Amino acid sequence: MAPEQNHSPNSTTDNSSPSTEPVRKSLFSTHWETDGGDARELDTYRQWSILAMLALICGIVSLTAFLYPSCIIIAAFGILLGLIAYFRVTSSQGTLIGMRAALLGLSLSTIALVGVIVLWQYYQYTVRVEADRFLHIWFDAIKAKNIRQIVEMKNPTWYRNLDSADEAWWKSKLEVKGEMGEEIISNFLMTINDPCVKTLWALGDQADISYYRTVKNIYHDSKDTVSMIYAVTIPQKDDPNIRETFFIKIGLERTLNQKDATQRGWAITGFPTVVKELPKEFVAP
């Protein structure tokens, strides 16, 4: 008869297989382990890419370039960091993370860079169009021999005196006394005797004046400074059917009214210069 086996309640015999459930080392551990010999190691350390974080920061800060265009440098730097971070994360074989941060920073920096460049080009275009309209009014005043308007357009609109009677205006120019009065009279006489103004005055309607090229278009200290070249085409004396062209260079400014920040006005600066032959850098290809 086979001996009877005694099954004690305290026996701890366990024939079950070892558990393969992942176990965490401690409460503060972020890595998990498995006890299976063929189980994949899951506690590989993955590090955040510092370049990806810097690219994201640059991308966020670069959006301020829409308010302060000089911050466009940050946008360019953010694009460079974003590209480097992206390629480093993709080539790290999983040891680096931060792909989304790198792409987001790259996207924001690109938006800022392209957006500011487009807006700046559009702004310069609108400034050039306004300047061209203003100068054509001035050229028309010369053709019409309106000396009063020619002189007053050398001042911003809020300083011009175009509403008073002609007699009162001439009297103010010729009888003003004091240092400022002498300066006004001096500028007035220089305008009348300027060779370019006198030439356009003499040509009158025979001169066909058209925009040729913008030499300078900058914005600084709340002021737009523009320098433009115009082509003046006139018929030859011997044969009116043959026309010849010379060029004039003229500068003007759009300034901010110190008393009214919402008002800007154009004014002719200096005197136009006759350019007989254009420099090579101004010649259209």
Per-residue pLDDT of the chain (285 residues; tens, 9 = 90+): 455 555 445 544 455 455 555 555 544 444 445 444 444 444 455 788 899 999 999 999 999 998 888 889 999 999 999 999 999 998 888 788 888 999 999 999 999 999 999 999 999 999 999 999 999 999 998 888 888 888 888 888 888 777 666 666 666 666 555 545 556 666 666 666 778 888 888 888 888 999 999 999 998 888 999 999 999 998 877 777 888 888 999 999 999 888 887 888 999 987 788 776 555 554 544
- What pLDDT is attached to residue 140? 92
Q: How deeply is 68 buried, as exposed, middle or buried, from its count of CB atoms within 10 A (0-12, 13-18, 19+)?
A: exposed
Spell out a b/e string for 171-188, using b for 16 or more CB atoms within 10 Å of the CB, else e.
eebeeeeeeeeeebeeeb
For residues 207 and 232, is the Cβ–Cβ distance under 8 A?
yes
pTM above 0.85, yes or no: no
- What pLDDT is attached to residue 187? 65
- What pLDDT is attached to residue 125? 94
Beta strands, E only, 54-101: 96-97
Q: How many CB atoms lie within 10 A of CB 18?
A: 8
Give the helix/strand (H/E) hosting 273. Answer: strand 264-275
